[in-house]
Amino acid sequence: MTGRLIGVGTGPGDPQLVTRRAWALIEGARVIAYPAPDTGTSFARSIVAEAIAGDAVEIPMIVPMRPGRAPAQSVYDDAATAIGGHLAAGRDVIVLCEGDPLFYGSFMYLLVRLRDSYPVEIVPGVNSLSACAAAQAHPLVARSDVLTVLPGTLDDEALAAAIGAADAVAIMKIGRHMPRLRALVDRLGLTGHALYTSHASLPHERALALSDAPDDAPYFSMILIYKGDDPWIS
């Protein structure tokens, strides 16, 4: 009897935005893995710290934080080996994932390494699209809208084409690309339709018009664009 690999979304940051199932699984977990930076604390772990039992076995996956580059695959090889040991011994392993496990997350690197050998369960979480729309109290998409989600790391030409084809746009992974992205949105005449959110649901959340956003945006920030002129758009 092997254990299950359970990818658990912790939501955007507020511990109250964790699902009931995720919270219960974490409270009962004997083995917990999570991504962690090379210095400092794990964001995913910090969200649910209160639910983790004192005697749980913890497996931090130390992922060097270099935005825009794929982390070293050896980190996931090593983590998969450690996690696989617990699974083979019949112990479930909870893998904490900020936001949702399958929306731009690193959980897929474990999934591909372990899914052929062990049962897998995914507990979806509130993803950053819904969290940022909530912070702005602004519809993300409505009726027959087309929504496109774009990494801010793409070049201007690719971004402009995608923005042009959609009714609503979410630009993620902003960070150091902020000045360029702001200029692009302005050139497209959409600044008046663009919102900026960082650290959604956390005490230091910022929910602003894009025109009021800082140039030094964090990685966990998002630009939402709604091109319609429907009456619910401010």
Q: List the one residue out of 86, 146, 143 whose CA is nearest residue 118.
A: 86
* Shortest distance in whole angstroms from residue 15 CB to its own copies: 7
- Antiparallel, parallel or unpaired: β 57-62 and 194-198: unpaired
Single out the segment in contact with its own copies by CB under 8 A; choices: 76-84, 85-93, 121-129, 176-184. 121-129
Determine if 2 is a binding residue for its own copies (CB under 8 A): no
Residue 15 sits at φ, ψ, to 5 deg, of -60, -25
Question: According to CB under 8 A, which residues from 176 to 205 bind its own copies?
Answer: 201
* Shortest distance in whole angstroms from residue 142 CB to its own copies: 6
Which residues have a Cβ under 8 Å from the Cβ of 67 and sit 6 or more positions away?
153, 173, 175, 176, 219
Determine if 134 is a binding residue for its own copies (CB under 8 A): yes
Q: Tell me, what amino acid is at 162?
A: A
Determine if 24 is a binding residue for its own copies (CB under 8 A): yes
Distances (CA, A) of 152 to 21, 123, 159, 168, 184: 32, 27, 8, 15, 11
Cα–Cα distance between 106 and 168 in angstroms, integer?
26
Determine if 150 is a binding residue for its own copies (CB under 8 A): yes
* Shortest distance in whole angstroms from residue 62 CB to its own copies: 19
Single out the segment in contact with its own copies by CB under 8 A; choices: 72-80, 98-106, 189-197, 208-216. 98-106
Do 62 and 125 meet the contact criterion of CB atoms below 8 Å apart?
no
Applying CB under 8 A, the residues found at the interface with its own copies are 9, 11-12, 14-21, 23-24, 70, 100-105, 108, 111-112, 115, 120-127, 129-131, 133-135, 137-151, 153-154, 158, 161-162, 165-166, 201, 231-232
